[in-house]
Homo-oligomer: A and B are copies of this chain.
């Protein structure tokens, strides 16, 4: 009803909209959720949605961006609590296990979106690559204090665990990956 929407309100709406979009897109896939459903669930008028995000594609990219910040931030905060470098590497797999155990866990949101839209939307594909690269670099920083040669296998164990957990459910993949990482780390003399 008012005749002027503050910039602050726009940011609030933007965040509320991303909350709804992230939940629905992750649960059911991007193409299975229409803009009308985002309107219904968020309670925001379609006009406002399209003023904040001119297309569905930009909304998807923004959702992935914010999720990336939160996801990697949560991981970093968890790892910061572990002082020992070797234990910190293994803690990543504990963090993954906690994630897998969350209700509604359905694998890697970026990989899922990439499989669905990666070949038709360059913007989405770029955002997914950006996240995956950032996660890889985060693993590299985590592993470097022990032995940088373990960066790639540790990273691949983590990625493999995410995929397997996403399809089969449960936390077993995180434990298996952790055991694999332990075995690798043992190959370096202290």
Name A's B-contacting residues (CB within 8 A): 27-29, 31-32, 106-108, 110-120, 128-129, 132-133, 136, 152-153, 155-164, 166-168, 173, 176-177, 179-180, 183-184, 186-187
Contact = CB atoms under 8 A, between A and B. Distances in A.
A161 to B, nearest CB: 6
Contacts of A133: 168
A140 B46 CA distance: 52
Copies in the complex: 2
A68 to B, nearest CB: 14
Contacts of A173: 156
Nearest to A28: B119
Nearest to A161: B156
24 contacts: A29-B116, A29-B120, A31-B32, A106-B119, A107-B114, A110-B167, A112-B116, A115-B115, A115-B116, A128-B167, A129-B167, A132-B164, A153-B157, A153-B177, A155-B160, A156-B164, A156-B177, A157-B180, A159-B159, A160-B160, A160-B161, A160-B163, A180-B184, A183-B187
